[in-house]
Amino acid sequence: MVGVCMTVVSIIRLLHLQHFATVVDRLLALDSVLFLFSALLSYLSLRRSERAQLEAYADGAFMTGLALMSICSILLAFTLL
């Protein structure tokens, strides 16, 4: 998912969408951090005893990242129209 965020940032740079690019770039950078945080929490849940709590946090971070990516894709779609 981090790779998807980086790909979209690169595509936005290639399309020269100046004002829009800064907003979506920042949102997708935050999104990448959320996905990385989710992966870290998932890994830790496999290694620790408080498994259910870490899994719940990992799920929350992942679902928040997906929601943010959906918002970015909607913004991108309406900008390109």
Q: What is the pTM of this model?
A: 0.77
Q: What three-state secondary structure class fits 73?
A: helix
| pLDDT of 8 higher than 80 | no
Q: Which two tokens stand for residue 48?
A: 């620790």
Q: What three-state secondary structure class fits 17?
A: coil
- Amino acid residing at 18: Q
pLDDT tens for each residue of 27-79:
888 888 999 999 999 999 999 887 889 999 999 999 999 999 888 888 877 77
Residue extents of the structural domains in the chain: 2-10+23-80
Kindly tell me the burial class for residue 3, based on how many C-beta atoms sit within 10 Å of its own C-beta (0-12, 13-18, 19 or more).
Answer: exposed
